[in-house]
Amino acid sequence: MAPPPQQQQITLGQILRAQYTDPESWAANKVVLTAFGTFAAAVAAIAAFGDMLVPTF
């Protein structure tokens, strides 16, 4: 009887390296980073200038 195959350990570094070097993954990740950047900029803008959005009478 043959021994069971060894399971390969996959590390977080290997996953990130694969995401960074694969052109298809890079295109998808660029969209995600753009969306995150837009969201973060909107949160920062509302935090800084939110008082201007409230009308004062």
* DSSP tag of 5: P
* Band of pLDDT at residue 44, cut at 50, 70 and 90: very high
* Band of pLDDT at residue 43, cut at 50, 70 and 90: very high
* DSSP tag of 51: G
Could you tell me what percent of the chain has a pLDDT over 70? 96
Residue 4 has pLDDT above 90, yes or no: no
Rounded mean pLDDT, 10-35? 88
Please check whether residue 18 is in contact with residue 11, taking contact to mean a CB–CB distance below 8 angstroms: no
Please check whether residue 26 is in contact with residue 20, taking contact to mean a CB–CB distance below 8 angstroms: yes
Looking at residue 16, its pLDDT comes to 85
Looking at residue 31, its pLDDT comes to 92
